[in-house]
Amino acid sequence: AWRFITANFVKISQQDYFMTLEKDELISIIKEDDLNCPSEEFVVETVLKWVQQDLEVRGQLLGDIF
């Protein structure tokens, strides 16, 4: 399952359930060396979308994520 997530990060990051991940789950995914994504900018944009789902709480977590 983990290999599927890292290999299909772009598609998975666009799913609604991706926005419900816990901080530690998100960090584990984006820090994977084998993460298949077009660029680091894509990862940053994805994390920012995740933060925007609960800006008040998740906004405080950005320092932990990056």
What mean pLDDT is predicted for residues 36-48?
97
Q: What is the pLDDT of residue 66?
A: 87
What mean pLDDT is predicted for residues 32-54?
96
Q: What is the pLDDT of residue 27?
A: 97
CA distance 13 to 50: 9
Domains of the chain plus CATH, in order, are 2-65 (1.25.40.420)
C-alpha dist (Å) from residue 3 to 7, 8, 18, 50, 66: 6, 8, 16, 21, 22
Spell out the residues 6+ positions from residue 42 whose beta carbon is closer than 8 angstroms to its own.
10
| pLDDT digits 0-9 by tens, 2-38 | 899 999 999 999 999 999 999 999 999 999 999 999 9
The answer to whether residue 1 scores a pLDDT higher than 90 is no
